[in-house]
Amino acid sequence: MPQNPGGRPPRQPGPARRRVPEPARPPARPARLKGAGDRPLRLGSPRPRLRMVGFGLTLVLLVFTVRLLQVQAFDASAYAARANVNRYIPVTLAAERGTVTDRSGVDLATTVDAYDITAAPDLLTPERIKTAGAARQAAALLAPVLGERPAVLEQKLTANPKSKYVVLARRQPPRVWNKIKELKKAAAARAQRKEGADVLAGVNREPHSKRVYPNGGLAAGILGFVNAEGRGGGGIEAQFDRVLAGRDGKLVYAQSGGRQVPTGDVKEQPAVPGSDIELTIDRDIQWAAQNAIARQVEESAADRGYVVVQDNRTGEILAMANAPGYDPNDLAHADSDALGNAALQDAYEPGSVSKVMTMAAVLEEGAATPMTHVEVPNRLPRADRSFADDVDHSTWHLTLNGVLAKSSNIGTILAAEQLGKDQGQANQVLHSYLRKFGIGEPTGLGFPGETPGILAPPAKWQGSRQYTIPFGQGLSLNAVQAASVYSTIANGGERIRPTLVRGTKGPDGRFTPAPVPERTRVISDRTARELATMLESVVDDREGTGTKAKIPGYRVAGKTGTSNRVDPQTGRYHGYTASFAGFAPADQPRLTVYCAIQNPTKGSYFGGQICGPVYKQVMEFALKTLQVPPSGTQPPRLPVSYDDE
C-alpha cells in the first residue's frame, strides 16, 4: 500500500463529511501606546474602610451598652416607678360613715351606696381615639344622666388632655351608674359596627357612699350636713367628723387602655368603718317641738325661733328645734341663714326669763323670802334713767312672789339691791350667781359655732347697766343656757352640764357611753323648792303672766320673758325677743321646755302670749310620750300682793 511522504497512510475514499465552522475570534484590542510616564494600575487596600466601619459600630454599641446599664442598673428603680405610675391606678376606698341615731336607735343620719363617676381624658384625644370632638360627644351623652350642663363636663374632659383621671360627678346613686353602663354598651356596640368611636370607653366609677337623712329636715340644726368632699360641714357631722368618718382604704390595680386588667396585680388596704353616734334626742319630741315652733314663727311673721327640751334629772337634751330650718338632703335649695343651729349660735338678751336667777340669789343669800313685801312704784329713778314696768300702774304692793308673777322690772331691781351693803357689792354677788348658772361660758356641748353669751365683769356694770342686768338686759345667752337655768332649779339647785350625745358604737359593735356630765351646786335644795313654788304663781295665778302655759292635770312652773332685741345687722335695739321657760310636773320635775321667738312682727310680741302656747303644746306632748304621771297635789298658791293698810 503506497504511503504518503511523512509516513501517514493515504485517506481512504468514503462518504463526504460536513465541515464544522470554527468560532469567530474576538476583535483585536487596539494597540496601546506606550509612553515614558505610564505606571501599572493597582487597586486600593480595603483595610482603612473596614477600620472606620468597625470603629463606628463599636461606638454605637458602646452607647447602647451605657444606656442599657443606666436603665437596668443605675436608674432601674426610677424607671420602674414611672412605669408603674402609668400602669397602676390607685383608687381610694371610702370608709363607710357611721350612723347617727336618736336615743331609741332610730336613724337620723345614715349612709347608702353611691358612686363617683370618673373618666380618663387621655383616651379622648384625637391622636388616641382617631376622631375629633370625642370629649364633646361624651359630654353630650353623660350630661342628661348626671344632671349637668354638657359644657361643664366637656371642660373637665379637656382641661388636662394627658390626665388619666378626672371626677365628673360625686356620690351618684346606683341608678345613675346603671344608666351610664347602658350608654357605654351602646357606644361600644356602635364602635364595633364602625359607626363611630367608643367615646365612653374611659368612663368608670368608684364606689363611695352618700349621706342621707331619712327624716328630711328633722333635727337638721343638730345633725348638720356632709359636704361634697364627704366631710362634716356643720353640727354633729362636723363636731364628730373624725369619729364618724372612719379611715379610708386604698386599692391599686393594673390598667390598660382605661380598663382594669382582670389578671393584673391588685393591692388592697381595707377601709375601717366609722363609729355610730347615739344622741340624747327623742325623735318624736323633736318632731313636736319643730312643728310647734315653725307654726308660731310663721304666724308671728318672726325672724326665727327655737325650742329646747331637757331632762332636768340627767341634763340630756331631748329636743332642740329651730325655725326656719332646712333639709340636709337638698342643700342646693337651703337658705344659708338657716344652715346653723340658732338655738346655740344666737346670743340675745333674755329679758324677764333671767329674773329667776336674780330671785335665786336673793333667796339663797337670805335677803328676802317669797312673802317679803315689795312696794313697787310706777317709776324708779336709777343712774341716768327712770325705770318702768311693761304697763303703767299705780304703786303696787307685791310680795316677792308677786314681783316674779307679774314680772316687775322695778320690783326686781329693788330686790337685787338687797344683795349687798352697796350697789357694788350687790353687783358682785349677782355676778357670781349668774356665772354659777352657766351664763357667759360654753354649755359644755362643744357644738360648732356655739356662743358662750356675754356677761361683763361686775367692775364694768356702770351706769344703768347694773340695774338692767337683774331683769335680763345688758347680758346675753343662748337658748340652751336659758333652758339649763330652769333645769337647775327643777333639779333641786344642782346644775348638770347639758349633754347631746349618749355614746358611740365602734365598728366592733361595742358601745362606749359618753362621759358623765359635770354637776355643780348653785343653790340649796330649799331655795330651789321655794323658787319653784314662786314660778308656779306665774302660770297658775290669775295675775300671773304665763297662764297660757297651763297643762290640765300637771302642775307647771314657768316664767315669761319679753325683752328689747338687739338687731344683729345694726347693733341697735329693734323689735322684741319673746320667750317662755318652765318645767313640769312642778311637784316632781321631769322636763324643762324653753321657747324663744325673735322679732315677731304680726300679732302679739309678749312671751306669755306667743311662747306660752308653744311651751304648753311641746310639754304636753313630751309628758305623754315619756308617760310621766300627772301631778298628785295642788299648787300652794302663794299670795301675789299684800294689803298695805
Is the pLDDT reported for residue 7 higher than 80? Answer: no
Query: Could you tell me if 294 and 421 lie in one domain?
Result: yes
CB neighbours of residue 507 within 10 Å: 15
Sign of CA dihedral 547, 549, 553, 554: negative
Does residue 197 lie within any of the structural domains?
yes
Q: Any idea what the Cα angle at residue 594 is, between residues 430 and 222, rounded to 5°?
A: 110
Does residue 514 lie within any of the structural domains?
yes
Query: Could you tell me if 390 and 316 lie in one domain?
Result: yes
Quote the pLDDT of residue 192: 85
Query: Could you tell me if 298 and 316 lie in one domain?
Result: yes
At 487, list the grid cell. 333645769
At 541, list the grid cell. 295665778
Mean pLDDT lowest among 14-18, 52-56, 303-307, 426-430: 14-18
Phi then psi dihedrals of residue 86, to 5 deg: -80, -25
Query: Could you tell me if 264 and 290 lie in one domain?
Result: no
d(CA 615, CA 556): 10
Q: CB-based burial of residue 589 (10 Å sphere; 0-12 exposed, 13-18 middle, 19+ buried)?
A: buried
Q: Of 125, 212, 139, 136, nearest to 171 (Cα)? A: 212
Does residue 80 lie within any of the structural domains?
no
Query: Could you tell me if 451 and 390 lie in one domain?
Result: yes
Average the pLDDT over 382-393 and give the result: 91
Is the pLDDT reported for residue 69 higher than 80? Answer: no
* pLDDT bucket at 599, cuts 50 / 70 / 90: very high
Mean pLDDT lowest among 30-34, 282-286, 577-581: 30-34
Beta strand pairing status for 259-260 and 591-598?
Answer: unpaired
* pLDDT bucket at 6, cuts 50 / 70 / 90: very low
Query: Could you tell me if 385 and 444 lie in one domain?
Result: yes
Average the pLDDT over 125-135 and give the result: 81
Average the pLDDT over 511-534 and give the result: 96
Check residues 24 and 608 and name the one with the higher pLDDT: 608
Query: Could you tell me if 146 and 183 lie in one domain?
Result: yes
Average the pLDDT over 434-447 and give the result: 95
Mean pLDDT lowest among 17-31, 254-268, 319-333: 17-31
Average the pLDDT over 165-171 and give the result: 87
CA dihedral 599, 605, 609, 614 (to 10 degrees): -10
d(CA 404, CA 193): 88
Is the pLDDT reported for residue 2 higher than 50? Answer: no
Give Rg (Cα) of the chain. Answer: 47
Is the pLDDT reported for residue 203 higher than 80? Answer: yes
Quote the pLDDT of residue 87: 64
Is the pLDDT reported for residue 5 higher than 50? Answer: no
d(CA 326, CA 293): 14
Is the pLDDT reported for residue 386 higher than 90? Answer: yes
d(CA 546, CA 561): 9
Quote the pLDDT of residue 19: 56
Check residues 63 and 234 and name the one with the higher pLDDT: 234
What's the distance, CA 20 to chain centroid? 119
Q: Any idea what the Cα angle at residue 434 is, between residues 562 and 344, rounded to 5°?
A: 60
Q: pTM (2 decimals)?
A: 0.78
At 614, list the grid cell. 308653744
Is the pLDDT reported for residue 626 higher than 60? Answer: yes
Query: Could you tell me if 257 and 313 lie in one domain?
Result: no
- Mean pLDDT, the chain, integer: 87
Quote the pLDDT of residue 376: 95
Does residue 288 lie within any of the structural domains?
yes
Query: Could you tell me if 270 and 288 lie in one domain?
Result: no
What separation in angstroms does the CA of 210 have from each of 96, 224, 329, 610, 617? 9, 15, 10, 40, 36
Please, what is the angle between helix 174-192 and helix 134-146, to 10°? Answer: 150
At 80, list the grid cell. 420602674
pLDDT over 90 percentage in the chain: 58
- For the stretch 456-491, pLDDT in tens is 999 999 899 999 999 999 999 999 999 999 999 999
Residue 251 sits in a domain whose CATH number is 3.90.1310.10
Does residue 3 lie within any of the structural domains?
no
Quote the pLDDT of residue 1: 44
Type of residue found at 421? K
Quote the pLDDT of residue 108: 97
Number of domains observed in the structure of the chain: 2
Average the pLDDT over 562-591 and give the result: 91
Query: Could you tell me if 212 and 295 lie in one domain?
Result: no
Q: Of 534, 543, 542, nearest to 369 (Cα)? A: 534
Quote the pLDDT of residue 57: 85
Average the pLDDT over 443-453 and give the result: 94
Residue 540 sits in a domain whose CATH number is 3.40.710.10
Quote the pLDDT of residue 229: 81
- For the stretch 341-358, pLDDT in tens is 999 999 999 988 889 999
Query: Could you tell me if 492 and 553 lie in one domain?
Result: yes
Is the pLDDT reported for residue 417 higher than 70? Answer: yes
Does residue 636 lie within any of the structural domains?
no
What 3-state class would DSSP assign to 551? Answer: strand
Is the pLDDT reported for residue 315 higher than 80? Answer: yes
- Domain boundary (231, 250, 274) is at 274
Does residue 26 lie within any of the structural domains?
no
Phi then psi dihedrals of residue 544, to 5 deg: -75, 160
Does residue 84 lie within any of the structural domains?
no
**Direct distance between the N- and C-terminal alpha carbons of the chain, in angstroms, rounded to an integer:** 211
Query: Could you tell me if 141 and 232 lie in one domain?
Result: yes
* pLDDT bucket at 259, cuts 50 / 70 / 90: low
Domain ranges, residue 175: 94-274
Q: Any idea what the Cα angle at residue 496 is, between residues 495 and 497, rounded to 5°?
A: 115
Quote the pLDDT of residue 533: 94
